Structure 1
């Protein structure tokens, strides 16, 4: 038996009056997920432990079977693992966004957490130049992809900076940055770095993109996860456009498959992800396929685009995988990591809907896969990191 684990990032949401009291998940065309749900188990899982921030880092760590309250150190360290960076135990790793703010003052507003979804070929030279101009014995700028980069603070794990709470920029779109600037101001070296970077980014000979500030956040010490194969007895891979999923894969000893053209947006390379999953499953047990699109549309506050993203997930990921594997013994897990409601434009801690379809799974007979049908089943996993173990037990694999 092989296991296909499909994640539509941020797919869950809340009913909207403008949509007739429906959610975007309910309005999306999802015949494949509906069929899997009707002939399998549905329920909800609390992927974000109480007291933790509802980020994709926390939630996807839980979906892979690792308790975030035990293993999570920060967003930055996960993405550093994706890049294979060599870190000292006392290093502090920051996620670094290139952002657009109205102005970098206490009455400034976060305009765009992604600087217009800046392309990697544009952002990478910017970060490389920041390193040349501002990098020093304490701070190292590490280029990543699109707006997602890293800042390494040498020997920072025990510094005042380690305890700072900086809002994820996608949590404060069109909101004040006052709280965060006050936090930065408590650490003079970091404060100086942020403002020196702002001055460089305003130099149009240095930068012609929408990015006008750096935003360090999600800091933590290096990540250490148990080995996935040793823990679950499955040889697995992760497939995603985003570094945090790749980082979780690298840190747990899974295969990490890069797909050309996978970009985390509506126009991602769906077929490339499908082909990569099928190829891996020819000789292996488990594949975790992650699609970022619904989450990005949720952050954008665009209901029509989010409906389209969920519809494409069903039609371009779930459907071709089911067709290609119809003669194989396959167990399916389909879910999202967290909600990204249109009204909030950021993540929430709501328990997420999931479906299990495979050996040992009785028919739920629900008429669709949605937040409501999953919740009405009465099956609740209060510790979301147990979802994978629960599924393996249902499938007779544990």
Structure 2
């Protein structure tokens, strides 16, 4: 008896809004995606609402939802999930905060500066680690500890801390940071001091010389307490793997007891190792005894934050050609029965350069139940299908045939 295999391909932030310069189409609709469109003609498509009413639209809440964990029950903050990924030992009384290395404008006092870039031009982990070590030497003190993550994404643990409101840097791009600075005096002072430490660091002088954005300040956000996810295998009776370059997704996997597979060259950017991710998923379910693989691709989201429709289209086309196509072809050639779910976690529209809570289009292919439609895969046709799942966390049991 054949055992059904399951693969999710998640294009982070891939959904968008119609754009006049793209003939009134979304980037997903405008992009050349022959594989997704061919699958859509044989699949169920529809809309999925991944963000519960009243919760902030983020990759944290949305991916928990897609993974089958109701964010209203399991969400305790973004940064604690990332802390799990990088092996930070959290106590129940600790609060974890994301520490972005951001680019601020260089004129005026700290509170007068503008948020230029939430990712410092997607700075490399190697350069970021050196900069964070400089911050650690100057700012670390009793009760506050910095940990190196990936690229611009790092972690601050605040012992016996408080979950305080903090602005997401990608929400305030091009805005003056003054009204968004932490109200907590220690966090605010550390952010201000980080600028003094980093602005003229040799790495940032070299980045300016090369025309790159300097990583000239820390920015704290995403505060939360130690998470407590249930085991994915115990909940859904499937052995699963996570394939992502992003600490948040790796942290969800750690919390859910899933295996993280590291792919060489996978970096969360536009030029990541797409084919390597696809191959890792196929190998996991065909050779290594796993039932389920979750491939997370960050690039569409990053291009949405950058406000580049052209690069977002490119990210979607790479996903189609270098992830979905090889997964489909190899799974089909294997003769194994499989279900393939393609979707974003949330929209990251070019217009606003941040996340929104609108429903996202999904494509659910089942090799044992081929359908016949004229659908293509995009937001407009997913809505026209009339299929709608109102609670994102119900998609996982639906995919796995439990509902």
Give me the TM-score of the superposition, normalised by structure 2. Answer: 0.93
How far apart, in 2, do the equivalents of 1:204 and 1:125 lie?
10
| Cα distance, 1:392 vs structure 2 | 2.0
| Residues 1:363 and 2:371 aligned together | yes
Deviations 1:240-259, CA, capped at 9 Å, x for gaps: 11111101001000010111
How far apart, in 2, do the equivalents of 1:241 and 1:203 lie?
29
- Matched residue, 1:133: 138
| Residues 1:169 and 2:175 aligned together | no
Does the CA contact (< 8 Å) of 2:110 and 2:192 recur in 1?
no
How far apart, in 2, do the equivalents of 1:294 and 1:176 lie?
26
Structure 1 residues 206 and 306 mapped into 2: Cα distance closer, same or farther (>3 Å)?
closer
Q: Which moved more, 1:193-202 or 1:254-263?
A: 193-202
Match of 1:226 among 224, 227, 230: 230
- Matched residue, 2:32: 29
Does the CA contact (< 8 Å) of 2:337 and 2:368 recur in 1?
no
Does the CA contact (< 8 Å) of 2:96 and 2:158 recur in 1?
yes
Deviations 1:89-110, CA, capped at 9 Å, x for gaps: 0101000100111255443210
Does the CA contact (< 8 Å) of 1:41 and 1:361 recur in 2?
no
- Matched residue, 1:115: 120
Secondary structure in structure 2 of the residue aligned to 1:261: coil
Does the CA contact (< 8 Å) of 2:94 and 2:157 recur in 1?
yes
| Cα distance, 1:362 vs structure 2 | 6.3
Number of equivalenced pairs: 387
- Matched residue, 2:239: 235
**What is the root-mean-square deviation in Å for CA atoms of aligned residues?**
1.5
Describe how 1:326-345 pairs up with structure 2 within 5 A: 326=332, 327-345=335-353
Deviations 1:219-255, CA, capped at 9 Å, x for gaps: 1001110100000010000101111110100100001
| Cα distance, 1:389 vs structure 2 | 1.1
Secondary structure in structure 2 of the residue aligned to 1:241: coil
Does the CA contact (< 8 Å) of 1:293 and 1:309 recur in 2?
yes
Moved beyond 2 Å, runs of 4+:
103-108, 202-209, 359-364
| Residues 1:306 and 2:307 aligned together | no
| Cα distance, 1:38 vs structure 2 | 1.4
| Cα distance, 1:360 vs structure 2 | 6.8
Secondary structure in structure 2 of the residue aligned to 1:250: helix
Secondary structure in structure 2 of the residue aligned to 1:163: coil
How far apart, in 1, do the equivalents of 2:172 and 2:69 lie?
28
Q: Which moved more, 1:29-38 or 1:214-223?
A: 29-38
- Matched residue, 1:295: 301
- Matched residue, 1:352: 360
Does the CA contact (< 8 Å) of 2:242 and 2:261 recur in 1?
yes
How far apart, in 1, do the equivalents of 2:71 and 2:176 lie?
29
- Matched residue, 2:74: 71
How far apart, in 1, do the equivalents of 2:84 and 2:390 lie?
28
- Matched residue, 2:217: 213
How far apart, in 1, do the equivalents of 2:360 and 2:75 lie?
20
Match of 1:11 among 7, 10, 14: 14
How far apart, in 2, do the equivalents of 1:115 and 1:219 lie?
21
Give me the TM-score of the superposition, normalised by structure 1. Answer: 0.94
| Cα distance, 1:275 vs structure 2 | 1.8
- Matched residue, 1:191: 188
Match of 1:389 among 389, 397, 401: 397
Describe how 1:315-326 pairs up with structure 2 within 5 A: 315-326=321-332
Does the CA contact (< 8 Å) of 1:200 and 1:206 recur in 2?
no
| Cα distance, 1:270 vs structure 2 | 1.4
- Matched residue, 2:211: none
How far apart, in 2, do the equivalents of 1:207 and 1:266 lie?
22
Q: Which moved more, 1:384-393 or 1:90-99?
A: 384-393
Does the CA contact (< 8 Å) of 2:198 and 2:204 recur in 1?
yes
Does the CA contact (< 8 Å) of 2:303 and 2:312 recur in 1?
yes
How far apart, in 2, do the equivalents of 1:100 and 1:30 lie?
34
Q: Which moved more, 1:121-130 or 1:223-232?
A: 121-130
Secondary structure in structure 1 of the residue aligned to 2:112: coil
